[in-house]
Structure 1
Amino acid sequence: MHESVISTYGYVRSHHVGGCTVLAFHGEIDIAAALEIQPRLDAATSLPRCRVVIDLSGVDFLDASGLRLLCRARLRVTEGAGLLVLAAPPPRVVWLLRLTRLDGCFTVLPTLDEALRRAAGPVTTP
């Protein structure tokens, strides 16, 4: 797959692999981080049939603001008939997704490589 230049902002790095946008969140994703991430997430999810992978492997903490970002991304991608995959969430994030019953709303895969392979495939809902 062809990979493009990585852009880094405080709590998010973005790059393209093939036809997929990868957003790698890192650090504590709270309200301050969410305010910084949202414009980049909105840009990545703005096009019809977009394919977006959110790499959560670098997340140390995720609160309701972080969950809101994920839900917003899902809504925007779904409305555009695209695909969103969450990659490599740490155990605490998996626990939070299960606790809030959001785990069934997302395609969640244990590694970035698996998420990229899934994003390259046909669009289906979780």
Structure 2
Amino acid sequence: MERVGGDVVVLEKPAADTPHLRVREDRGYTVLEFRGEIDIVAATEITPHLDDATGGPAPRIVIDLSRIEFFDCSGLRLLYRARGRVLDQGGHLHLVCTHRLTLRILRATGLYRLLPPATTLDAALEQPEATSGTL
């Protein structure tokens, strides 16, 4: 809620599905499925939803990149942001990625070691918590 000129205005939570993001629950995890081209425009759209999902205590998050077509440094910033927020809250983060060029970017930046990607959502959800970037 926000007070505007003496009136109380209820601010609605933004919708979870956008052109570049689908948010859903699966086996106790919040799955953030990135879609299409993940660039600065998409990152601007995704950030509030990512922050909402990673803001609570001990969040359990999967970021699924299986439906992306393009991924630049804006996407990397989203992954680093998610990882930092999840670790700060004592949570767990898993990544799904099979996109060849994105995997190359993850390796080149070292994020591949910090957040080892699974090849499918099922594989990510079956990973032990110790491999979720919390080391």
TM-score of Structure 1 vs Structure 2, range by shorter chain = 0.7 to 0.9
Corresponding residue for residue 74 of structure 1: 83
**C-alpha displacement at 1:107, in angstroms?**
3.0
1:90 aligned partner: 99
Shift of 1:68: 0.2
Task: State the alpha-carbon separation in 1 of the partners of residues 98 and 86 from structure 2.
Answer: 19
Identity rate, percent? 46
Deviation (angstroms), 1:18: 2.3
Matched letter for residue 68 of structure 2: V
Contact 1:88 1:112 in 2 (8 A): no
Contact 1:59 1:89 in 2 (8 A): no
Q: 2:124 aligns with which of 104, 115, 122?
A: 115
Give, in whole Å, the separation in 2 of the partners of 1:123 and 1:48: 18
* 3-state SS of paired residue (1:40): helix
Please say if 1:17 is aligned against 2:26: yes
C-alpha deviation, 1:117, in angstroms: 1.7
Distance in 1 (CA, whole Å) between partners of 2:65 and 2:75 is 11
Distance 1:8 1:80 in 2: 24
- Partner SS, residue 8 of structure 1: coil
1:3 alignment counterpart: none
Question: TM-score when scaled to structure 2?
Answer: 0.82
Give the letter for the 2:73 counterpart: A
Alignment gaps of 5+ in structure 2: 1-15
Match of 2:5 in 1: none
Preserved CA contact (<8 Å) 1:53 1:87: yes
Between 1:93-102 and 1:29-38, the stretch displaced more is 93-102
Q: Is the deviation greater in 81-90 or in 33-42?
A: 81-90
Equivalent runs, 1:22-61 vs 2, <5 Å: 22-61=31-70
> Which protein shows a greater Rg?
2
In structure 1, give the amino acid aligned to 2:96: A
Computed over aligned residues only, the root mean square deviation of the Cα atoms, in angstroms, reads 1.4
- 2:55 is paired with a residue whose SS is coil
Distance in 2 between the 1:103 and 1:48 partners? 25
